[in-house]
Amino acid sequence: MSFKLIKKLILLIYAVIKIICVVLFILICIILIPVFLFVLFLLGTWLTSFIHPSLEQQLFSSIDKKCYQEKACKIHLHEITSFKWDKAYFFNYKGRYSKQDIKKITGVTGDFKQDMETLVIFTYQGNLVKYDLFRTAYDYFLPQSGTIKSFNINFDTNKDELHQLHYSGNLGDFSENISIHYYHVDLENDILYADCDLETQNRNSIKACWLSFTNLDQIHLYNPKK
């Protein structure tokens, strides 16, 4: 075999190796760059939720710390919120509230897009301070294992509870199970019941924290006869 032929063979092998290296590099980039970006996204999301927790996370953490495994726990809503407000509204996740409905009740407008979520609105001196949409406990997807945290607001009551709280209307207007239309809480009447429960389903655990009314001035009921 001549020297020139050997040289051409070596150059050919070098070119093939070079092409293979370039192809491998491109394939690695195609695979690793999306993975790297996804990891950065998860890290950014975690840091954001850690440094600036959502309203839902703030309420959950505060109630969990104060009321977990404590019976008949009561909290002042203003003590577990980090901003200034004088009125708070919680709208039933089963409702379909238009912007006009919300403005009529709260006096404020906003881009409120409720879809089977609890709408929470805080105002101060007639101005919108903060609003959020809370998922219900039933919307949480159960992974194969692990603990899921959820925060919820109670929108159910019954005739016995209304009777104990001295409801002045006609209880005959309602069926046994009664839905709460919305909450209206102000600083002079912001004591709410709070509770946290841990429920285990197979290998999953759901830790749910709740807020509920303590008196009838805080809630407006769905009355089927009105």
Q: What is the pTM of this model?
A: 0.71
pLDDT in the model for residue 74:
93
| Strand-pair partners of 180 | 221
What tens-digit pLDDT sequence spans the chain (226 residues)?
566 666 666 667 777 787 888 888 787 778 877 776 666 655 554 444 445 567 888 888 888 888 877 777 999 999 999 889 999 999 988 877 888 888 999 999 877 776 778 889 999 999 999 988 877 655 454 444 556 777 889 999 999 999 899 988 888 888 878 899 999 999 999 999 998 887 776 666 777 888 999 999 999 998 665 5
- C-alpha–C-alpha distance, residues 92 and 118, integer Å: 6
CB of 195 closer than 8 Å to CB of 207: no
Q: What count of other Cβ atoms lies within 10 Å of the Cβ of residue 20?
A: 10
CB of 215 closer than 8 Å to CB of 189: yes
What phi and psi, each to the nearest 5 degrees, are found at residue 160?
Answer: -60, -45
pLDDT in the model for residue 3:
62
How is residue 86 annotated by DSSP? S
- C-alpha–C-alpha distance, residues 220 and 226, integer Å: 13
User: Please, what is the end-to-end C-alpha distance for the chain in angstroms?
Assistant: 103
User: What DSSP string describes 42-56?
Assistant: HHHHHHHHHHS--HH
- C-alpha–C-alpha distance, residues 72 and 66, integer Å: 12
SS3 call for 155? coil
Q: How many residues does the chain have?
A: 226
